[in-house]
Amino acid sequence: MNAPVAKPETAIAVIDPKSYAAWDPLLDLFDEIRAETPVLRIESPTDDHAPFWLITRHEDVMRISKDNATFLNSPRPSVLTNRAGEDLARQITGGSPNLVQSLVSLDAPKHPKLRRLTQEWFMPKNLKLIEADIKELAKRTVDRLIAAGPEADFVPLVSAPYPLHVVMQILGVPEEDEPRMLFLTQQMFGGQDEDLNKTGMANLSPEQISQIVLGAVKDFTEYFEKLAEERRQNPGKDVATILANGTIDGQPLDPLDLAGYYIIVAAAGHDTTSASTAGAMLALAKDPEQFAKVKADRSLVAGIVEEAIRWTTPVQHFMRMANEDVEIAGVQIAKGDWLMLNYVAANHDPAQFDEPRKFEAARDQNRHIAFGAGAHQCLGLHLARLEMRILFEEILDRLDSVELAGEPKRANSTFVGGLKTLPIRFRAS
Ligand code: HEM
C-alpha cells in the first residue's frame, strides 16, 4: 500500500493543542481517519515537527504498546515535541531527546530494573496502607468545596489540588513545598495553555527557556537529593524512602536517576487524575438521574471511575520509535520512524466500544487503553482508581445533587488534557 499522507489541514489539527480543547471536531476527524487510513503519515506543513505516523485503531495501539522490543521509547522524544524542543533537550542532556531521564523515556535493560523498585509499592495490597490518609485528604477537599458552595468551580477547588496532595504525600514532599514543586513542573514542561502556564515562558527566546529549564532541573535534583538523604536517615513507608534506599545492580540510584524518578511520579500522578476526576464530575453533573442512582448504589462507583478514565483519556498520546522495518495495518513503517499512539482515537474506536462518545458507566468489557499497555503501562493505575473512588464516595456521602452552572472549558494540550474549568451548583446533604 502507498504510504497515506495527511492533508496539511489534517496534520495541523493533529499537532495543534487547540484541537484537543475543542474535542468534538477532533473526535470527528479521528473517526474519519480511523475508518480510511488508520495508520496515517503526519507531515507538519511548516516542518516545525519531524514527521510521524498517527495510529488511531484500538487494536494497533494495543499491539504496538505491548511490543516493547520493536517499538522503543528512548531514541526519539517519547512525547510529541517540536524540532526546537528536541534540539533543546539534546543540548541540555548531552544527547538524549528527552529532557528528564525517567521510566517513560527509557527502554530495557534499564527500564525494568528501575520500574521493579516501586512496582510492589503501587499494588493494591500496599495501597491499602495509605487508604486512610487519602480518605482524610478527600474529606478536607470536600469540606473546601462545601464551604465555597452552593456554586463553585470544581477544578481549582477539588480536581486539581486533590491528586497533587496525594502524590506529594507519597513522595514525602511537605505541604508547604507543594507550590514550589508545581511551579518547577510547569517550568520544565512549559504549559501549552495560556491560562495554565503561569511561568511567563510564552515569549522567551530558546536560550532564555533553556536557562530556565536547566535551573528547574538543578533545583529539582538538589531538592530530591536532600529529601533522599533525609529518608536514608529516617526511613518511612513512602515511595521517597524506597527510592532513597533502592539499588540497581548493587549501586544506589545516581542523583539524576533519582530526580527523574521523583519527577515522573510527581508529573504523571497529578494532572492525569485531575482530568479524569473532573471528567467524572462532568458526567454526573450532566445527568442528575445517574448521580441519584450511584448515590443510592455505591457498587456503581467503580464503573463510573473506569468509564470516566476512558471517556476523558487524560493522557492523549505517547510516542514510540520503530526499531526495525515493520508493517502495521498494511502500511510499511521504516526502522527509525516515529509513531504517535493516540489514546483518544483508540478509546473512541467503534470497533471496540459501542457508542464511544456516550458516558456508559455500566459498560461491560471496558478494555480502554487510557493507561497504556505493555512494559510502560501506567505504574499508578491502581492509585488513580483508588483516589477517584475514595473522593466520589465522599462526594456522594455529602452532596444531595449536582448540576452544571456554566460552560466547562478544556485546556489546550496535545499531551495531558482535560477540563480547566467546571462550574457546578450543588446541594450539600
Ligand atoms: C505511565 C496514564 C495516573 C504514574 C502512564 C502511561 C499512561 C498513563 C498512558 C504510559 C503507558 C504506556 O506507555 O503504555 C495515566 C492516567 C492516569 C494516570 C490516565 C489517571 C487517570 C498516574 C498516577 C501515577 C502515575 C496517579 C503515580 C502516582 C505513572 C508512571 C508512568 C506512567 C510512573 C511511567 C511508567 C513506565 O514508563 O514504566 N500513565 N496515568 N500515573 N504513569 Fe500514569
Report DSSP letters for 330-364, one per residue: TEEE-TT-EEEEEHHHHTT-TTTSSSTTS--TT-S
- pLDDT for 221 equals 86
Q: Whose CA is nearest to atom 43 of ligand 1?
A: 378
1 confidence band (pLDDT: 50, 70, 90)? low
Give the separation between CA 85 and CA 288, rounded to whole angstroms.
Answer: 45
Give the separation between CA 82 and CA 234, rounded to whole angstroms.
Answer: 43
Best of 310, 378, 385 to mutate for ligand 1, by most ligand atoms within 8 A of CB?
A: 378
Give pLDDT tens digits for 267-319.
Answer: 888 889 999 999 999 999 999 999 999 999 999 999 999 999 999 999 999 99
Higher pLDDT, 254 or 392: 392
Higher pLDDT, 364 or 176: 176
Asked if 56 and 33 touch (Cβ cutoff 8 Å), the reply is yes
Cβ of 408 closer than 6 Å to ligand 1, yes or no, is no
Higher pLDDT, 205 or 143: 143
Q: What's the pTM value of the predicted model, to 2 decimals?
A: 0.96
Helix (H, G, I), strand (E, B) or coil at 425: strand
Q: Give the burial class of 238: count Cβ atoms within 10 A of its Cβ; 0-12 exposed, 13-18 middle, 19 or more buried.
A: middle
359 confidence band (pLDDT: 50, 70, 90)? very high
What ipTM score was computed for the predicted complex, to two decimals?
A: 0.99
Is residue 376 predicted with pLDDT exceeding 60? Answer: yes
Q: 340: which 3 cell numbers?
A: 504517535
Q: Whose CA is nearest to atom 39 of ligand 1?
A: 378
Strands (E), 86-240: 151-153
Cβ of 29 closer than 6 Å to ligand 1, yes or no, is no
> How do 251-252 and 247-248 pair as beta strands?
antiparallel
Give pLDDT tens digits for 172-181.
Answer: 898 899 888 8
Query: What is the pLDDT of the chain when averaged over all its residues?
Result: 93
User: Which of 79-88, 96-105, 189-198, 416-425 holds the top average pLDDT?
Assistant: 416-425
212 confidence band (pLDDT: 50, 70, 90)? confident
- pLDDT for 215 equals 83
**347 CA distance to ligand 1 centroid (A)?**
16
Higher pLDDT, 93 or 230: 230
Contact partners, residue 278, CB within 8 Å, separation at least 6: 154, 155, 159, 312, 408, 418, 419, 422
CATH number of 8-428: 1.10.630.10
Asked if 328 and 60 touch (Cβ cutoff 8 Å), the reply is yes
In our burial notation (b when 16+ CB lie closer than 10 A, e otherwise), range 260-272 reads bbbbbbbbbbbbb
**73 CA distance to ligand 1 centroid (A)?**
14
- Residue at grid coordinates 515562558: 201
202 confidence band (pLDDT: 50, 70, 90)? low
Q: Which amino acid is at 6?
A: A
Contact partners, residue 155, CB within 8 Å, separation at least 6: 274, 278, 419, 420, 421, 422
Give the separation between CA 104 and CA 378, rounded to whole angstroms.
Answer: 10
Contact partners, residue 420, CB within 8 Å, separation at least 6: 155, 193, 195, 196, 409, 410, 411
Q: Is the dihedral of CA 350, 192, 66, 360 positive or negative?
A: negative
**381 CA distance to ligand 1 centroid (A)?**
7
Ligand 1 atom closest to Cα of 73? 13
Is residue 211 predicted with pLDDT exceeding 80? Answer: no
- pLDDT for 88 equals 84
User: Taking the domains of the chain in order of start, what are their residue ranges?
Assistant: 8-428
The H or E element spanning position 399 is: strand 399-404
The CA–CA distances, whole Å, from 429 to 85, 399, 400, 401 equal 50, 5, 5, 9
Cβ of 260 closer than 6 Å to ligand 1, yes or no, is no
Helix (H, G, I), strand (E, B) or coil at 123: coil
The closest of 49, 51, 13 to 29, measured between CA atoms, is: 13
Cβ of 377 closer than 6 Å to ligand 1, yes or no, is yes
Percentage of the chain with pLDDT > 90? Answer: 77
Cβ of 104 closer than 6 Å to ligand 1, yes or no, is yes
**384 CA distance to ligand 1 centroid (A)?**
9
Helix (H, G, I), strand (E, B) or coil at 60: helix
